Structure 1
């Protein structure tokens, strides 16, 4: 009978060796490093959002500086003061060195800011409205533009030599007509300060340019 035990033994040993080799290969693949690494995710560039602090233009196309300019423009004055926006008054006499000096005050009674510049017009009139004496002379002054907010005033000095000293011909006016600078319509103010010179020597009356306030 032929002996078959040796080939069978060799076959069993070969199978066992292959099984061991397979186990070793599997263990090597589990403990080794991967052949290719997993790619990392790429982050998108960040863009400023509505709360990032980036400046954005208004929908109407204006810039913040345009808006500020509009607000500033609305605060500016709106031209000169007109007669209808002013009240006139004559202050208390300030005598000195043979002179009689009166502050003629213009007050802004409107609800807007306006300006005055230069000399007011002035004329003494009687009860019928007829002018007494010549127009006042303009005293040397340096006029400036005065800004009058509502309720603020400017004044000019009205002066003449005391008639008792000068010997000038006099009259007692019923009113003083005050015309704001660059206006045509006067404001009538009752005159209660007595006689004024209207003719003869030393009869001139003078007026100064407007200054801020209600008097010296």
Structure 2
């Protein structure tokens, strides 16, 4: 008996059917004719689960003691009160000159400043002044400070006053006329409060200031 050799079917090679590195592992195995049994023997590591969120401590959600809370708009918060008292500015004051003692050619008056504002303020020390003529022009003025009383801090509530004592003479000095007024008659004073630069106007009803406008004045006091 003549034996027959088994017929082997030769299939043509198809280029690109199994390309190394071009496809994923499962597709490459399937495309190359691997059976399900061959796949079942392979170990595929499971995907790692995402990391769990870290627990947040309850104390971390609260602001630290002494920390400043955040507000939506700090500009809407009311301003904090302050204990500071401002200096009495010229715009806060009004003035008068009140007649004092007189005798033997000597004249005295009290230059009074009143707190005409609605705010408490302070005065300290000496002020300045200038004699003003009827035509509004400055007149010769020579103000000298005297030490008694000296400077002291004065607190003026609204409506309260402080004064400086002024002294001058009605007796002509050398070089001044004796048969007519020794100096032009002032109409008012330009008064500068302590530590200010602006002046306020005060009526002057006391006639000429002899000695070429020489005056002396104390610090403001109550």
2:95 corresponds in structure 1 to: 88
Structure 2 Cα separation of the partners of residues 77 and 96 of structure 1: 44
1:144 corresponds in structure 2 to: 152
- Structure 2 alignment gaps of length 5 or more: 1-66, 69-79, 177-181
Structure 2 Cα separation of the partners of residues 190 and 122 of structure 1: 12
1:106 corresponds in structure 2 to: 113
Matched, 1:121 2:128: yes
Is the contact made by 1:110 and 1:150 (CA closer than 8 Å) also made in structure 2?
yes
2:167 corresponds in structure 1 to: 159
State the Cα deviation string for residues 45-73 of structure 1 (Å, max 9, x = none): xxxxxxxxxxxxxxx99xxxxxxxxxxx9
Shift in Å at residue 82 of structure 1? 0.4
Shift in Å at residue 101 of structure 1? 0.3
Structure 1 Cα separation of the partners of residues 84 and 175 of structure 2: 47
SS in 1 for 2:130: strand
- Structure 1 alignment gaps of length 5 or more: 1-59, 62-72
Shift in Å at residue 204 of structure 1? 2.2
2:207 to 169, 177, 194: 194
Structure 2 Cα separation of the partners of residues 167 and 77 of structure 1: 51
Is the contact made by 2:170 and 2:208 (CA closer than 8 Å) also made in structure 1?
no
Cα distance change, pair 96–161 in 1 and its aligned pair in 2 (3 A): same
Q: TM-score normalized by structure 1? A: 0.58
1:207 corresponds in structure 2 to: 217
Deviates more, 1:82-91 or 1:96-105: 96-105
Structure 1 Cα separation of the partners of residues 183 and 100 of structure 2: 17
SS in 1 for 2:183: strand
